[in-house]
């Protein structure tokens, strides 16, 4: 059969499947999205790691494993892509992350995934790390579509104290408080309570936003003791953090089973970006004593994550920074399959809304596509191209097997890789394929002309060097214990 006929056949099959999907979703599925943080591509059991992740392994190998899934280089842009189905260039969030002293957040005119699902009849819950705005409560999860939020607003915090810079960043539905316990265990327990209390007649969306295994590298001693065979201390703790996360995912699946909800629950798993392989992206402390106390990595030291064969890590436009472990599991609906077609974080929202009967915003069109036919029927990726990211000083784009990386700062550099032949991006073939370079560079420039100015770059003149003090809503003040408190109390939805 000719390739064009094969493609038409596959697309026709996908169309039939789409009709079948509508029938499946007469009863709206429950949805759980699990986001790991800074997880190395090679650091799960099913990916060949020595790290024990039996619950994730089971979900991955009985579902659709996405082997060419793209996150973003760092935390905030990845979360913006997930929550809106749009590239972060649309939000001005394409560069680095929201620092504690920054006052901006995900623009409030963006329609979020929980808002769309809530309008479709879902109850919406979030536990864990937000990192899409904290300085004004209009950016908080409770005002972006979540009925319930338990976790922290800023980036990383101490896993036990839930503090950053002496300030407690831990709340439930707008009320900050101190709480003993390990971050990962606490959000797992909260997720289980929400599932146990759920009315089976009402569909729910749970966003489980893990901080693990982001630095600081901290874990309960009993989890660390599981990895006595790992000699490197940071790697040993990092492994314990991932296994602790896996334990909580096991608890969530068990709670679904006990409630009779598992068969009608989609579980989506992905990391926001690749594992940190540079100390600049692993919250480095500068002295040996500070490193011991903080759980960070000193400048010049090697962080514990592994991205396997992929080049570089967090913060990079190379595959190690942006190609992340991901899978979708739905018992009885999705058969075990390995999907090599390119898929992006922006695809999650439009795909889930198609299954749930939700709608996006017409005036804020998706960059993401409905990839359900790709996951369930082996259809080609609906993307003609995937924008990795574009910023004032660099960008990357993928089309088919070709990937262009462009460094725009002087002296500048253009790199072209064939990912089918060279997934480790070791052979720059830009000089051999000038026509492909011209085509992909033109597309990258077109995206650059559409992007909003970077909020991170706009914020930097306000301070140089240090990140500064954490900025919370101006209606908040701090008590003597480092806890934000309101004056006066305003309603938080």
Residues 6 or more apart from 371 whose CB is under 8 A from it?
341, 343, 347, 351, 381, 382
C-alpha 478 chain-centroid distance: 31
- How many angstroms separate the Cα of 128 from the Cα of each of 33, 85, 149, 151, 171? 12, 20, 8, 4, 10
SS3 at position 409? coil
- Residue 73 falls in which region: left (phi positive, over 0), alpha (psi -120 to 50) or beta: alpha
d(CA 30, CA 33): 10
75 among known catalytic residues: yes
> What backbone phi and psi angles, to 5 degrees, belong to 438?
-60, -45
Q: Are 326 and 69 in contact (CB under 8 A)?
A: yes
C-alpha 259 chain-centroid distance: 27
Residues 6 or more apart from 409 whose CB is under 8 A from it?
393, 394
Q: Are 299 and 280 in contact (CB under 8 A)?
A: yes
Q: Which of 291, 307, 275 is nearest to 216 (CA)?
A: 291
Q: Are 484 and 472 in contact (CB under 8 A)?
A: yes
Catalytic residue among 66, 75, 91, 214: 75
Tokens of 412: 């500048």
C-alpha 236 chain-centroid distance: 24
Residue 275 is given by DSSP the state: P
Catalytic residue among 131, 214, 344, 383: 131
131 among known catalytic residues: yes
Q: Are 257 and 232 in contact (CB under 8 A)?
A: no
Q: Are 403 and 416 in contact (CB under 8 A)?
A: yes
| Residues acting as catalytic residues | 75, 131
């Amino acid at each position: 059969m000719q390739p064009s006929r094969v493609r038409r056949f596959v697309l026709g099959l996908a169309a039939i499947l789409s009709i079948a999907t509508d029938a499946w979703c007469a009863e709206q599925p429950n949805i759980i999205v699990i986001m790991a943080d800074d997880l190395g591509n090679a650091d799960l059991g099913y990916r060949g790691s020595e790290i024990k992740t039996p619950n994730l392994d089971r979900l991955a190998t009985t579902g659709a494993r996405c082997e060419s899934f793209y996150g973003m280089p760092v935390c905030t842009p990845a979360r913006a892509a997930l929550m809106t189905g749009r590239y972060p260039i649309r939000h001005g969030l394409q560069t680095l992350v929201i620092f504690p002293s920054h006052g901006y957040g995900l623009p409030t005119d963006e329609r979020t995934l929980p808002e769309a699902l809530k309008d479709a009849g879902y109850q919406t819950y979030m536990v864990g790390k937000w990192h899409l705005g904290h300085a004004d409560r209009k950016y908080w999860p409770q005002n972006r579509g979540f009925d319930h939020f338990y976790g922290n607003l800023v980036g990383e915090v101490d896993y036990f104290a839930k503090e950053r810079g002496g300030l407690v960043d831990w709340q439930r539905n707008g009320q900050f408080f101190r709480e003993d316990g390990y971050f990962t265990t606490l959000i797992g327990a909260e997720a289980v309570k929400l599932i146990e209390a759920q009315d089976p007649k009402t569909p729910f969306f749970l966003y489980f936003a893990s901080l693990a295994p982001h630095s600081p590298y901290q874990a309960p001693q009993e989890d660390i003791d599981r990895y006595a065979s790992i000699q490197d201390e940071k790697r040993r703790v990092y492994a314990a953090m991932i296994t602790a996360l896996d334990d909580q995912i096991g608890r969530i699946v068990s709670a679904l089973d006990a409630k009779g909800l598992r068969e009608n629950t989609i579980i989506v798993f992905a990391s926001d970006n690749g594992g940190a392989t540079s100390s600049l992206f692993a919250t480095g402390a500068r002295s040996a004593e500070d490193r011991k106390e903080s759980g960070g990595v000193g400048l010049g030291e090697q962080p514990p994550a592994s991205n396997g064969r992929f080049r570089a890590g967090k913060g990079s436009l190379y595959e190690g920074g942006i190609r992340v472990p991901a899978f979708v599991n739905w018992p009885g609906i999705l058969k075990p399959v390995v999907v090599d077609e390119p898929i992006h974080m922006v695809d999650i929202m439009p795909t889930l809304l198609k299954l749930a009967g939700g709608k996006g915003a017409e005036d804020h069109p998706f960059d993401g596509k409905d990839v359900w036919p790709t996951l369930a029927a082996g259809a080609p990726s609906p993307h003609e191209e995937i924008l990795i990211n574009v910023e004032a000083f660099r960008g990357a784009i993928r089309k088919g097997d070709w990937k262009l990386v462009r460094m725009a700062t002087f002296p500048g550099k253009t790199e072209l890789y064939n990912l089918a032949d060279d997934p480790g991006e070791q052979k720059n073939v830009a000089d051999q394929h000038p026509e492909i370079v011209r085509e992909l560079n033109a597309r990258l420039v077109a995206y650059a002309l559409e992007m909003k100015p970077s909020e991170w770059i706009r914020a930097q003149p306000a301070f140089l060097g240090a990140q500064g003090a954490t900025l919370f809503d101006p209606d908040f003040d701090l008590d003597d214990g480092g806890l934000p408190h309101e004056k006066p109390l305003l309603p938080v939805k």
